[in-house]
C-alpha cells in the first residue's frame, strides 16, 4: 500500500516500483522515523489540529512500534515503498483509522530530511567514539615507546631524513584524528536544525510551533526556509567529506605500517589476529586489514564525489534524486564503525622491533646536525650546508659511514672542525636537540603526550 494513489487508474509497473522503493535501505531510519512521528503527533495536538485523545492514541501506537523495532519484531518485508509508509501502515493496524491523521500537514519531504538528520546526529557520536578508541591506541603506543626512547628514521620523500622518536611518529597520527573529531562535532551543530514543518516545500499550513517541535526532538533550531529545508543535504555531504578524510588519514597510517611490516623494513610485526594467510604460499602473513583500510579510503572518496554529483543539478526543493543520499551515507558510517576499531586493534597488538629501527639509522641522517655544528662555530648556514654535503660525498667516495671519515678529511673540509665533531654522531643527542614545542626531543614529546591525553576526552 502506497501513501498515494487517488489520482491513478493503473497499478505501478513492478520494475518501476522496485526501482523506486527505498525500504531495502531506509529501514534503518525506522527508530528515528517513529521518534519524529511522536513529536509530530504531539505538535498537531498542541496546534489543536487533532485532539489530545487522538494524539494519545497515535503516541501509544508509535510506542508499540518502537518496542517492536527494538525487539526485532517489526516486519520489514511487507513490500512498502519506504520506511515512512511502513510505519504508517503498521500504525493503522495498531490504532485504526486515526492513524490517517498523523500525515496531516506533513510530507515525506520534510519527514525524510528530519529522520536523516536525527539518524546522523546519533551516528556522529558513534563515529566519534570509534575515532577516540583509535586515538587511545596511539596514545598507549606513544607512552610505551617513550619509556624505551625507541628511535627510528624519519622520512621525507620516503628517503631517510632525520632520526625521530617512535612516540613522536605515533602521535603524528593522533592529531589528524583529533581534527576529524572536531569536524564531526562542528557538523553536529549544522545537522541539528529541524526541517519538520517545512511540508512538501512551502511550509505546513497548520499553526505548528516549529521551534518547540525542533527542541523536543533534540534539534537546536528550525530551518529558516522551507524550500531549502527539504533539499538541503549539506550535512550528508559534509559527513561524507569527514568520512573520506578519516579514510585518507587511516590509509596513510596503513600504508606506513604495511611498509614497516615488510621483511625489508622489519620495523613492526602485526599480530596473527590482525593478519591473514595465503591460500597458495604457506609462508605468507599478509596485512589484509590494513590493505582493506587503504582500499576503503578510495570507496569513501567515491561516496563523497557521488553525492556531490547527485546534488549539483537539482532544480528545486525535493527531487527523487535525493533518495540516493542514503546508501552512500549508510555505507560510509558502517565502514567507519568497522574500520576504526580494526585499526585500533591492529595497533594495540603489533610488535615493535626497536632493534630493526635503530639499525636503519645511518650517520648521514645527521648531516643537518653537522651543518649546525659548523653554524655554532660561526659558519653561515648556507656555507655549512655545502661543507656538510662535501663530507657526505667524501664518505660515499671512500665507502665509509659519515662518522668514520678520517680526521684529516674533516680538516680538509674545514679547519674549524675539531675532534669533538664525533659528538655530532649521536642519534639520541640529535633528537634531544629538538625539544621545541612539537619537536621530537624527549621532553617535547612527553609534553605532547600529556596534551594528547588531555584533549582526547573532548574533541
Binding site for ligand ARG (CB under 6 A): 22, 26, 82, 108-109, 112, 318, 322-323, 326
Q: How far is the CB of 107 from ligand ARG (least distance, A)?
A: 7
Which residue among 221, 278, 422, 423 is the active-site one? 278
DSSP 351: E
Q: How far is the CB of 322 from ligand ARG (least distance, A)?
A: 5
Which 3-state string (H, E, C) describes 139-164? HHHHHHHHHCCCEEEEEECCEEEEEE
Beta strands (DSSP E) in 208-250 are: 221-222
- Angle of helix 288-311 relative to helix 234-260, nearest 10 degrees, comes to 160
Q: Determine whether 84 is an active site residue.
A: no
Q: How far is the CB of 51 from ligand ARG (least distance, A)?
A: 28
C-alpha–C-alpha distance, residues 44 and 46, integer Å: 5
Which residue among 71, 157, 316, 458 is the active-site one? 157
Q: Determine whether 303 is an active site residue.
A: no
Collect all residues with Cβ–Cβ distance below 8 Å to 357 and sequence separation of at least 6: 150, 151, 152, 153, 166, 267
> SS3 of 286, please?
strand
**Side-chain-side CA neighbours of residue 390 (13 Å):** 11
Which CB, 183 or 233, lies closer to ligand ARG?
Answer: 233
Which CB, 326 or 385, lies closer to ligand ARG?
Answer: 326
C-alpha cell at 38: 511522536
Which CB, 236 or 395, lies closer to ligand ARG?
Answer: 236
Which CB, 109 or 204, lies closer to ligand ARG?
Answer: 109
Q: How far is the CB of 112 from ligand ARG (least distance, A)?
A: 4
Q: How far is the CB of 121 from ligand ARG (least distance, A)?
A: 18
Characterize the bridge pairing of strands 221-222 and 193-194: parallel
Which CB, 196 or 322, lies closer to ligand ARG?
Answer: 322
> SS3 of 269, please?
strand
Catalogue the active-site residues.
Answer: 157, 278
Amino acid at each position: 500500500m502506497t501513501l498515494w494513489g487517488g489520482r491513478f487508474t493503473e497499478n505501478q509497473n513492478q520494475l518501476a516500483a522496485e526501482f523506486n522503493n527505498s525500504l531495502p535501505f531506509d529501514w534503518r531510519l525506522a527508530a528515528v522515523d517513529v521518534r519524529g512521528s511522536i513529536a509530530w503527533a504531539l505538535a498537531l495536538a498542541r496546534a489543536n489540529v487533532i485532539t489530545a485523545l487522538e494524539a494519545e492514541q497515535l503516541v501509544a501506537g508509535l510506542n508499540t512500534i518502537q518496542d517492536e523495532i527494538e525487539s526485532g519484531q517489526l516486519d520489514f518485508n511487507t513490500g512498502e515503498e519506504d520506511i515512512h509508509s511502513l510505519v504508517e501502515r503498521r500504525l493503522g493496524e495498531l490504532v485504526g483509522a486515526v492513524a490517517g491523521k498523523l500525515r496531516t500537514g506533513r510530507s515525506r519531504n520534510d519527514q525524510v530530511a528530519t529522520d536523516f538528520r536525527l539518524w546522523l546526529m546519533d551516528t556522529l557520536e558513534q563515529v566519534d567514539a570509534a575515532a577516540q578508541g583509535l586515538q587511545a591506541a596511539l596514545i598507549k603506543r606513544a607512552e610505551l615507546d617513550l619509556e624505551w626512547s625507541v628511535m627510528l628514521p624519519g622520512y621525507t620523500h620516503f628517503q631517510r631524513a632525520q632520526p625521530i622518536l617512535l612516540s613522536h611518529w605515533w602521535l603524528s597520527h593522533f592529531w589528524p584524528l583529533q581534527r576529524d573529531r572536531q569536524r564531526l562535532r562542528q557538523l553536529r551543530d549544522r545537522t541539528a536544525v529541524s526541517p519538520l514543518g517545512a511540508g512538501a516545500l512551502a511550509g505546513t499550513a497548520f499553526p505548528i510551533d516549529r521551534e518547540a517541535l525542533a527542541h523536543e526532538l533534540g534539534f537546536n533550531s528550525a530551518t529558516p526556509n522551507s524550500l531549502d529545508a527539504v533539499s538541503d543535504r549539506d550535512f550528508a555531504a559534509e559527513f561524507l567529506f569527514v568520512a573520506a578524510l578519516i579514510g585518507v588519514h587511516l590509509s596513510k597510517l596503513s600504508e606506513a605500517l604495511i611498509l614497516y611490516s615488510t621483511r625489508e623494513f622489519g620495523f613492526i610485526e602485526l599480530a596473527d589476529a590482525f593478519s591473514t594467510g595465503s591460500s597458495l604460499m604457506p609462508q605468507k602473513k599478509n596485512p589484509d586489514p590494513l590493505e582493506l583500510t587503504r582500499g576503503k579510503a578510495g570507496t569513501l572518496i567515491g561516496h563523497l564525489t557521488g553525492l556531490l554529483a547527485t546534488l549539483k543539478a537539482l532544480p528545486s526543493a525535493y527531487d527523487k534524486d535525493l533518495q540516493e543520499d542514503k546508501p552512500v551515507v549508510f555505507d560510509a558510517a558502517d565502514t567507519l564503525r568497522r574500520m576504526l576499531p580494526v585499526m585500533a586493534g591492529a595497533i594495540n597488538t603489533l610488535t615493535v622491533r626497536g632493534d630493526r629501527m635503530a639499525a636503519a639509522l645511518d650517520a648521514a641522517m645527521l648531516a643537518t646536525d653537522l651543518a649546525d655544528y659548523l653554524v655554532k662555530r660561526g659558519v653561515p648556514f648556507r656555507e655549512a650546508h655545502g661543507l656538510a654535503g662535501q663530507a657526505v660525498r667524501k664518505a660515499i667516495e671512500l665507502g665509509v659511514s659519515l662518522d668514520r671519515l678520517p680526521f684529516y678529511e674533516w680538516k680538509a673540509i674545514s679547519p674549524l672542525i675539531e675532534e669533538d665533531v664525533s659528538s655530532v654522531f649521536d642519534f639520541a643527542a640529535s633528537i634531544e636537540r629538538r625539544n621545541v614545542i612539537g619537536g621530537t626531543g624527549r621532553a617535547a614529546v612527553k609534553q605532547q603526550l600529556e596534551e594528547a591525553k588531555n584533549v582526547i576526552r573532548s574533541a
